[in-house]
C-alpha cells in the first residue's frame, strides 16, 4: 500500500528512483565520472528512460500510478521529463518518461558522494602541487587514488624521496620518510611501482627484474648457503655464507650432497672431498645461483613423497647431472612401518625424472599396487644404517639416474 508518497509493496515493472541511482552508480564505480571531473571536462547530459504504467493501467491502478508519479517529484536533483499517456477512457495524463542528471553537482548529490569527491579533489590538488607528472595517473585511476586518500601524502613523499635520495645498494629499510616504514612500502608496492615508473628516469628501472627491490635498484635480502665439510673448514664445523659470495666450491671439493632435514644434515657422515648442503625444503632456490655446481657430482636426498620428487625434478632441470639417493622404490618398501600420509600432493616435476623416479612419482600421486596414494617416507625416518651404506657403497649401486 501507499502511505503518502511512500510505496510499501513492490512494482517490479515500473522504474523507481533507486533504479536510476543504481545505473548512475555504475558510472561512479567505474571511475568514469571522477575521471571526467578531474580532467575538467564538461558534463555530458545523462539520462535514463523510465518504464512506467501503460495507458490501461491508469484506470486499473490509479492510486498506485499517482503515488509512483509523486515519487519522482521527490526524487532529489533529478530533472524529470514528462510524456503524455492516456486513451479514450481516461484522457491524456502526463507521467514521468525520462530522468536527467544535468551536472556533476547533481550527480554527487544523487549518489551521496560529496565527501568522497572532496577527498578526491584534495588528492588531485596535492598531486598537482607536489608531483605534477602523476596528475594523469590520478585522473586515469581515480577510484584507486580515492581509496588511498588517507595515505596519499606519504605515497608522494616516498616516491619523491626515492627519486631524489636513493643510492645504489640501499635496502628499502633505508627509505627515510617520516611515517613510512618497510611495511608501508610492502603494503603499497603495486601502486608505488606504477608511480615510480612514471617518475624515475628509464635507466633507473629494470623492467625485467622479478621483484620490486630489483626493479628500482634496491638491495634484496641475501640468500644463504649453509654447509658442512669433511674435517671442517678453517676451524669451523659448519658455515653459512651469502649465496652471491660463494662463487666457487671450497678447495678440494668434488662431490656435493644436498639434504632436506636439518638434524640429518647435522649428522650426515660427510665423505672426504665432499660437502653437504642443508636444503631446508628450498633446495632449488638455494642452489640455483651456484653455477659452479654443474662441474661437480651433485646428489640430492629428500623425502620420498611427491614434494621430494618435484624438488628433485626441478633441481635436475637446473643441474642435469644431479643424482638422487635413497629416494627409490626399494628404500620406500623397506621402510613400510615408517610411512605417513602427505596432506596434499605436489604436481609437475618438470619432466626431469628418470623413468624409475617418474613411475614412483605416479604411484605416490595416484596410488599403485604396493603403494597407497600420498604415501610419504620422511628423510628422518630412514634408518641411519641405510644412509651409511649408501655413502660407502660404490656410486652405481646407490645412485639412480
Tell me how far apart the alpha carbons of residues 390 and 397 are, in angstroms, rounded to a whole number: 8
Instruction: Report whether 317 contacts 294 (CB < 8 A).
Output: no
Instruction: Report whether 67 contacts 3 (CB < 8 A).
Output: no
Instruction: Report whether 100 contacts 78 (CB < 8 A).
Output: yes
| pLDDT tens-digit map of 79-127 | 999 988 765 655 567 889 899 999 999 999 999 999 999 999 999 999 9
Q: Is the pLDDT of residue 303 over 90?
A: yes
The whole-number pLDDT of residue 4 equals 40
Taking residues 169-191, report their average pLDDT.
Answer: 96
Taking residues 239-249, report their average pLDDT.
Answer: 93
Tell me how far apart the alpha carbons of residues 325 and 298 are, in angstroms, rounded to a whole number: 10
Instruction: Report whether 89 contacts 24 (CB < 8 A).
Output: no
Q: Is the pLDDT of residue 253 over 50?
A: yes
Counting residues of the chain whose pLDDT is more than 70, the rounded percentage is: 92
Q: Is the pLDDT of residue 135 over 50?
A: yes
The whole-number pLDDT of residue 85 equals 79
> Quick one: DSSP state of residue 316?
H
The whole-number pLDDT of residue 89 equals 58
The domain made up of 224-400 has a fold known as Dna Topoisomerase Vi A Subunit; Chain: A, domain 2 (3.40.1360)
Tell me how far apart the alpha carbons of residues 384 and 370 are, in angstroms, rounded to a whole number: 24
Q: Any idea which of 51-60, 72-81, 197-206 has the lowest mean pLDDT?
A: 51-60
Tell me how far apart the alpha carbons of residues 231 and 182 are, in angstroms, rounded to a whole number: 42
Taking residues 203-225, report their average pLDDT.
Answer: 94
Taking residues 381-391, report their average pLDDT.
Answer: 94
Instruction: Report whether 53 contacts 68 (CB < 8 A).
Output: yes
Tell me how far apart the alpha carbons of residues 368 and 372 are, in angstroms, rounded to a whole number: 6
| pLDDT tens-digit map of 137-175 | 999 999 999 999 999 999 999 999 999 999 989 999 999
Confidence of residue 399 (pLDDT cuts 50, 70, 90): very low
Distances (CA, A) of 42 to 111, 127, 300: 19, 22, 68
Q: Is the pLDDT of residue 401 over 60?
A: no
370 phi and psi angles, rounded to 5 deg: -110, -5
CA dihedral 295, 297, 302, 305 (to 10 degrees): 90
- In the chain, where does the domain assigned CATH 3.40.1360 lie? 224-400
Tell me how far apart the alpha carbons of residues 360 and 261 are, in angstroms, rounded to a whole number: 21
Nearest to 215 by CA among 193, 191, 244: 193
Count other C-beta atoms under 10 Å from residue 326's C-beta. 26
The grid cell for 21 is 541511482
Taking residues 211-224, report their average pLDDT.
Answer: 93
Tell me how far apart the alpha carbons of residues 358 and 370 are, in angstroms, rounded to a whole number: 16
The full 3-state SS of 176-235, as one line of letters, equals: CCCCCCHHHHHHCHHHHHHHHHHHCCHHHCCCCCCCHHHHCCCCCCCCEEEEEEEEEECC
Amino acid at each position: 500500500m501507499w502511505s503518502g508518497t511512500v510505496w510499501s509493496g513492490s512494482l517490479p515493472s515500473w522504474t523507481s528512483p533507486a533504479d536510476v541511482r543504481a545505473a548512475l552508480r555504475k558510472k561512479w564505480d567505474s571511475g568514469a565520472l571522477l575521471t571526467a571531473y578531474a580532467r575538467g571536462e564538461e558534463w555530458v547530459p545523462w539520462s535514463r528512460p523510465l518504464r512506467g504504467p501503460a495507458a490501461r493501467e491508469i484506470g486499473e491502478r490509479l492510486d498506485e500510478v499517482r503515488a509512483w508519479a509523486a515519487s519522482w517529484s521527490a526524487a532529489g536533483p533529478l530533472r524529470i521529463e514528462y510524456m503524455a499517456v492516456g486513451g479514450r477512457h481516461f484522457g491524456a495524463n502526463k507521467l514521468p518518461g525520462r530522468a536527467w542528471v544535468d551536472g556533476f553537482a547533481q550527480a554527487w548529490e544523487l549518489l551521496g558522494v560529496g565527501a568522497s569527491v572532496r577527498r578526491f579533489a584534495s588528492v588531485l590538488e596535492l598531486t598537482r602541487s607536489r608531483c605534477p607528472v602523476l596528475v594523469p595517473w590520478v585522473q586515469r585511476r581515480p577510484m584507486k587514488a580515492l581509496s588511498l586518500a588517507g595515505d596519499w601524502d606519504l605515497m608522494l613523499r616516498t616516491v619523491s624521496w626515492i627519486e631524489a635520495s636513493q643510492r645504489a645498494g640501499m635496502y628499502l629499510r633505508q627509505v627515510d620518510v617520516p611515517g613510512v616504514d618497510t611495511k608501508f612500502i610492502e603494503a603499497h608496492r603495486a601502486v608505488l611501482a606504477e608511480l615510480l615508473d612514471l617518475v624515475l628516469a628509464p635507466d633507473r628501472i629494470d623492467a625485467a627484474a622479478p621483484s620490486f627491490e630489483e626493479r628500482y635498484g634496491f638491495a634484496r635480502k641475501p640468500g644463504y648457503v649453509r654447509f658442512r665439510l669433511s674435517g671442517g673448514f678453517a676451524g669451523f664445523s659448519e658455515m653459512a655464507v651469502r649465496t652471491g659470495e660463494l662463487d666457487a666450491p671450497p678447495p678440494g671439493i668434488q662431490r656435493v650432497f644436498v639434504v632436506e632435514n636439518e638434524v640429518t644434515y647435522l649428522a650426515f657422515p660427510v665423505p672426504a672431498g665432499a660437502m653437504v648442503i642443508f636444503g631446508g625444503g628450498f633446495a632449488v632456490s638455494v642452489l640455483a645461483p651456484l653455477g659452479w655446481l654443474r662441474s661437480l657430482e651433485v646428489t640430492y636426498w629428500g623425502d620420498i613423497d611427491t614434494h621430494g620428487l618435484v624438488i628433485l625434478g626441478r633441481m635436475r632441470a637446473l643441474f642435469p647431472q644431479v643424482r638422487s639417493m635413497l629416494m627409490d622404490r626399494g628404500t620406500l618398501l623397506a621402510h613400510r612401518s615408517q610411512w605417513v600420509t602427505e596432506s596434499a600432493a605436489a604436481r609437475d616435476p618438470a619432466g626431469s625424472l628418470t623413468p624409475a623416479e617418474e613411475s614412483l612419482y605416479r604411484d605416490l600421486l595416484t596410488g599403485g599396487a604396493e603403494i597407497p596414494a600420498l604415501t610419504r617416507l620422511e628423510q628422518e625416518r630412514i634408518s641411519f644404517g641405510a644412509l651409511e651404506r649408501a655413502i660407502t657403497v660404490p656410486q652405481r649401486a646407490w645412485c639412480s639416474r
